[in-house]
Amino acid sequence: MQEMILLKLGELVLKGLNRRSFEDRLMGNAQRRLKPYGNFRIYTKQSTTYIEPKDDNCDMDGAWGAMQTLFGVAGMSRAHSCAKDQDALFETAKTYLGDQLRAAKTFKVESKRADKSFPMTSIALSQYVGGALHDAFPHLSVDVHHPELTVTLEVRELAAYVHADPQPGAGGLPVGVNGKAVALLSGGIDSPVAAWMIAKRGVALEMAHFFSYPYTSQEAKQKVLDLANILVPWCGRLTVHVVPFTAIQEELRRRCPEELFTVIMRRFMMRISERIARRIGAGALVTGESLGQVASQTMEAMHCTGAVCSLPIFRPVVGMDKEEIVRAARKVGTFDTSILPFEDCCTVFTPKHPRLRPVLGEVEAAEAALDIEGLIEMSIAGIERIQLK
């Protein structure tokens, strides 16, 4: 009998007919994330996924860390399995949770009895083990309302389990159950958060980054790859499509009215991202736009940028305040990298007085001076694909 990890599945259980494929996806994602930490047996029963080390070489702390970023998990605990017997449960709780029992002042025992053939009721089992623990750790007192430590006993089909301190999981849905999207990743604070939010809804992502060398530096590109790397534990493996954007921006500067630069530049980003999406079989684009945050993020500007593509555009941070986005960025782990001072391609080419409320007809007229298709094809031909694991 051994230490293991229990993952309580979240929304999965609500999904009726899809449940099986959701569970399979979650287990597959878990399997891949656990590879660096050893060989594990993974199986799911009654909305709980069990992760058992197959041998003594498994790194349980590493595995525990890896599971904290697994979308689809509502709650998680480290547990110890034992025989389905009241004394075995007591002995396991006493040794496995010894440190926590010694440190706590108040405790209670809670039992769940999924195996209905187990001879004791949940209440009788809790009372038995609770009493024995109280004898073994006499400094403890029982507090059924606000205990410092809750010892949980589960009697299930294959074995019994002892654990304490369940922690919230990453939430959301397993990456991959809701298809694939292309996330437009700049070096800023917002787009990594937006990508993370959509990955959380079970969407596998590939990233598009528009790169304006030499106006923006190699460091700026590296910063974006660093951000993508921070997202890998959440999203799984990622491909970053680095799109050369300099020629397009120079052409816009030559031929388009300065006040429409930003919106036209954005339209090129959307067109190219949509081509990437179609090529890889993705069904949506994701951006980090937030309503009213900057001039290019008005309703009218979003209308103009959205008008060039037919795939849905997800803007999950559209209704969030900057502070809320910053809080999310800290939680995801991207914030400190996002605030590094390297210029983004948009910053370099930002007009002094961008049009706040661009009109679609006027923007289209301004683009008539451009060889749109030629510019897109040239850019796409220069894409560098970088795989992150």
- Residue 329 binding result from ligand ATP, Mg ion, none, given CB thresholds of 5 to 8 Å by partner type: none
Binding mask 252-281 for ligand ATP (x = CB under 6 A): -----------------x------------
What values do phi and psi take at 155, rounded to 5? -105, 110
Q: Which of residues 120, 136, 294, 356 is near ligand ATP by CB under 6 A? A: 294
**188 contributes a contact to ligand ATP by CB under 6 A:** yes
**287 contributes a contact to ligand ATP by CB under 6 A:** yes
**354 contributes a contact to Mg ion by CB under 5 A:** no
Q: Angle at which helices 19-34 and 60-67 pack, to 10 degrees? A: 130
**Residues in 331-350 at the binding interface with Mg ion, rule: CB under 5 A:** 344
Task: List for the chain the helix, strand, coil content (%; round to 5).
Answer: 45, 20, 30
What values do phi and psi take at 257, rounded to 5? -60, 135
Provide the minimum distance between the beta carbon of 118 and ligand ATP in the complex, in angstroms, as a whole number.
53
**52 contributes a contact to ligand ATP by CB under 6 A:** no
**Residues in 177-206 at the binding interface with Mg ion, rule: CB under 5 A:** 186, 188
**Residues in 209-238 at the binding interface with ligand ATP, rule: CB under 6 A:** 209-210
**249 contributes a contact to ligand ATP by CB under 6 A:** no
**288 contributes a contact to ligand ATP by CB under 6 A:** yes
**385 exposed, middle or buried (CB, 10 Å; 0-12, 13-18, 19+)?**
exposed
User: 352: how many CB neighbours lie within 10 A of its CB?
Assistant: 6
Strands 106-113 and 149-155: parallel
> Residue 35 gets which letter from DSSP?
G
CB 78 within 8 A of CB 163: yes
d(C-alpha 296, C-alpha 261), whole Å: 10
**186 contributes a contact to ligand ATP by CB under 6 A:** yes
Return the number of the residue (104 or 193) whose C-beta is nearest Mg ion. 193
Q: Which of residues 177, 189, 204, 235 is near ligand ATP by CB under 6 A? A: 189
Per CB under 6 A, which region of 14-22, 68-76, 202-210, 354-362 contacts ligand ATP? 202-210
- Residue 293 binding result from Mg ion, ligand ATP, none, given CB thresholds of 5 to 8 Å by partner type: ligand ATP
Binding mask 54-73 for ligand ATP (x = CB under 6 A): --------------------
CB 118 within 8 A of CB 155: yes
**289 contributes a contact to ligand ATP by CB under 6 A:** yes
Return the number of the residue (186 or 290) whose C-beta is nearest Mg ion. 186
**282 contributes a contact to ligand ATP by CB under 6 A:** no
Return the number of the residue (154 or 344) whose C-beta is nearest Mg ion. 344
**93 exposed, middle or buried (CB, 10 Å; 0-12, 13-18, 19+)?**
buried
**Residues in 93-122 at the binding interface with ligand ATP, rule: CB under 6 A:** none
CB 100 within 8 A of CB 164: yes
**328 contributes a contact to ligand ATP by CB under 6 A:** no
Q: Which of residues 160, 205, 345, 363 is near ligand ATP by CB under 6 A? A: 345
Q: Which of residues 181, 320, 346, 366 is near ligand ATP by CB under 6 A? A: 346
Binding-site size for Mg ion (CB under 5 A) equals: 3
Provide the minimum distance between the beta carbon of 197 and Mg ion in the complex, in angstroms, as a whole number.
17
Question: Where do runs of H (alpha helix) occur along the chain?
Answer: 19-34, 60-67, 86-96, 98-103, 122-136, 190-200, 218-235, 246-255, 261-280, 299-306, 322-332, 335-338, 345-348, 360-367, 372-381
Compute the half-sphere exposure of residue 65: CA atoms within 13 Å on the CB side of its CA. 8
> Which residues fall within 8 angstroms of residue 158, CB to CB, at 6 or more apart?
45
Cis preceding linkage at 358, omega within 30: no
Which residues are registered as beta bridge partners of 113?
Answer: 155
Binding site for Mg ion (CB under 5 A): 186, 188, 344
Binding site for ligand ATP (CB under 6 A): 184-186, 188-191, 208-210, 269, 287-289, 293-294, 296-297, 344-346
